[in-house]
Structure formats: structure tokens, C-alpha cells
Amino acid sequence: MRADLSLLVSIQTWGRVPFEFAHFTDTQLASAVLAVAKGATCCTLAELKKNFSAQRKSPTPNVQGAWKRKVQGVSKVDLAFALWPILKKQVIKALEGKRRAPPILRKLRNALAATQRIQGLNGLVFKK
């Protein structure tokens, strides 16, 4: 039983950056913030891209730090909804073998593989 449980306990991260930086470009993030901001004229796409780039390179990257002082009324949930179509397309293309899987899909595959090992169903759901 202990061996089975050790298969389920796994700490995985996106690396040193938050989820958004691991999955999206600065342009995608900036465009999504402006789309969610509903016409705010506080800053340009170029300014937001620069802010996202600076946050990405920071020792403590924070996706909200790129817009918090410039754009009001945008939450991480709003951003997630705006970015979902991009992530969905990345996942579909990865499943079709047309691109490398995004980090979240790789983590999901790892979790499924661990579950399948415990159940003795290796390789049933996803090809690597």
C-alpha cells in the first residue's frame, strides 16, 4: 500500500513562473488584459507587453503585477476566461500531434499515468 501511495504523491510545478507565464506569451497576456478591461485607455498593448516581460524576468514573477497599477477591474479569473480559447487550441493541437503539449497537459498526463499504474491500466488513455 505504501508503494501505491508513493505513486500518487508528486509535487509538480510550472517551474519558477506562474501558470500564466508558463502557458502564454507576453503578447497573448497583454491582449487578454486589454480585452477584459473593456475599453480602458490606461495603457497600450506595447506597454503591457513590456510590463509582462519585466514580471516574467523578475526573481518573483507576478502576472498581476503587470497590470495591477495600470488597469482596474481585471481579475485573474477574468484573464483565465479570456485566455481559455488559446489554451484549448494548444491542447487540441498537442493531442493531434501538431505541437508540444502545454505544461498543464503534461501534468495531467503524469497524473493519469500514476493512476493507471496503480490500477494496472498502463498507457490506456494518452500516448506520450
Look at residue 126 and tell me if it is in a domain.
no
Cell of 53: 516581460
Amino acid letter, residue 93:
K
For the chain, 128 residues long, the average pLDDT of each consecutive 10-residue run is 65 83 96 84 87 95 88 88 97 95 91 75 52
Look at residue 108 and tell me if it is in a domain.
yes
From residue 25, alpha-carbon distances to 32, 96, 116 in Å are 11, 22, 33
pLDDT at 68: 81
Q: Domain of 95? A: 2-119
pLDDT at 111: 81
Closest CA to 61 of 24, 88, 104, 90: 24
Cell of 62: 507576478
Look at residue 127 and tell me if it is in a domain.
no
Look at residue 74 and tell me if it is in a domain.
yes
Q: How far apart are CA 71 and CA 112, in angstroms?
A: 39
Q: How far apart are CA 8 and CA 10, in angstroms?
A: 6
Task: Look at the chain and report how many structural domains it folds into.
Answer: 1
pLDDT at 2: 67
